């Protein structure tokens, strides 16, 4: 008998119902370890609700397992401890604390608040490594509130790294970013996927074409299409849905890669 655990994210027949309305309506998704999976779809398709279900924020039926561990039915903090990290559309950082203090708090080491708030000489390896990965080492003593928009988003990702998240679920990470910040974020996704699994909810089609490895298209709570960027772009069902909902998005989607 094989003892190997199924790895990556495995979702089966996931369903989320709000007052009789199925926001997620029987979804199956497999994301392999090391993938950078983009989930796209028109407004209201169910993308955020799907991520909410996986992270324990809404009740769901079916199954969502990561590295063989069932996530549904567990409390949010337990899901975090199983290595699932999630960002929101608005970065949730402590603006009046420094970059280092934010990472320290996220790391949740057993230091008292006073120690955390004091400037320290030694920085734990995991925190130093996270700062390096997100490019904020030279900004370690800056207040998070003074960071540029993109840097705040990267700090939030850093906070997941120090928690040792193995599955990163990022909700519209490049919304409101400059082109340079988008490029840096795209490169960061590639770096993160070297030893983690990354799932990105995104509306930005240019960013998707450049940085997605695989794509899932949702529509009305279901999976409409799945595959490589080229496969999804060529799918007539996808083109129809985008033509019906947002012409500009559709044109961006079917543009040559």
Binding positions for ligand ATP, rule: CB under 6 A: 18, 23, 41, 43-49
Give whichever of 48 and 225 is closer to ligand ATP, judged by the CB atom: 48
The residues, ordered by sequence, that sit 6+ positions from 92 with a Cβ below 8 Å of its Cβ are 156
Q: Specify the pairing of strand 222-227 against strand 214-219.
A: antiparallel
Give whichever of 127 and 215 is closer to ligand ATP, judged by the CB atom: 215
Vertex 159: Cα angle to 200 and 63 (nearest 5) = 45
Give whichever of 47 and 152 is closer to ligand ATP, judged by the CB atom: 47
Q: How far is the CB of 101 from ligand ATP (least distance, A)?
A: 31
Q: How far is the CB of 150 from ligand ATP (least distance, A)?
A: 20
From residue 239, alpha-carbon distances to 9, 30, 255 in Å are: 27, 23, 11
Q: How far is the CB of 251 from ligand ATP (least distance, A)?
A: 18
Whether residue 102 contacts residue 155, with contact meaning beta carbons closer than 8 Å, is answered with yes
Give whichever of 27 and 161 is closer to ligand ATP, judged by the CB atom: 27
Measured distance CA(26)–CA(65) in Å, rounded: 15
Q: How far is the CB of 3 from ligand ATP (least distance, A)?
A: 37
Q: Given CA atoms 151, 178, 180, 171 in this order, what sign does their dihedral have? A: positive
Pick from 173, 178, 188: nearest CA to 90: 173
Q: How far is the CB of 93 from ligand ATP (least distance, A)?
A: 21
Give whichever of 72 and 128 is closer to ligand ATP, judged by the CB atom: 72
Q: How far is the CB of 19 from ligand ATP (least distance, A)?
A: 6
From residue 13, alpha-carbon distances to 60, 62, 90, 167, 169 in Å are: 10, 5, 29, 20, 19
Give whichever of 44 and 227 is closer to ligand ATP, judged by the CB atom: 44
């Amino acid at each position: 008998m094989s003892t190997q655990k199924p790895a990556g994210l495995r979702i089966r027949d996931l369903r989320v119902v709000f007052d009789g309305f199925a926001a997620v309506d029987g979804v199956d998704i497999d994301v392999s370890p090391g993938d950078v999976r983009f989930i796209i779809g028109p407004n209201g398709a169910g993308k955020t609700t799907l991520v909410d279900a996986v992270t324990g924020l809404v009740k769901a039926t079916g199954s969502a397992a990561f590295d063989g561990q069932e996530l549904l039915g567990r409390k949010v903090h337990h899901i975090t401890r199983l290595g699932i990290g999630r960002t929101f559309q608005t970065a949730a950082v402590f603006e009046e604390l420094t970059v280092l203090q934010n990472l320290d708090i996220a790391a949740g080491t057993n230091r008292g608040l006073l120690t955390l708030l004091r400037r320290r000489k030694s920085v734990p390896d995991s925190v130093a490594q996270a700062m390096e990965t997100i490019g904020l080492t030279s900004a370690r003593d800056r207040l998070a509130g003074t960071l540029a928009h993109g840097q705040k988003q990267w700090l939030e990702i850093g906070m997941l790294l120090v928690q040792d998240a193995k599955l990163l679920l990022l909700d519209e990470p490049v919304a409101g970013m400059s082109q340079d910040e988008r490029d840096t974020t795209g490169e960061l996704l590639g770096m993160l996927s070297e030893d983690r699994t990354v799932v990105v909810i995104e509306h930005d089609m240019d960013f998707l074409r450049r940085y997605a490895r695989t794509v899932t298209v949702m529509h009305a709570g279901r999976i409409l299409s799945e595959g490589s960027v080229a496969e999804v772009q060529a799918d007539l069902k996808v083109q129809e849905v985008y033509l019906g909902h947002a012409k500009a998005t559709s044109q961006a989607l079917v543009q040559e890669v």
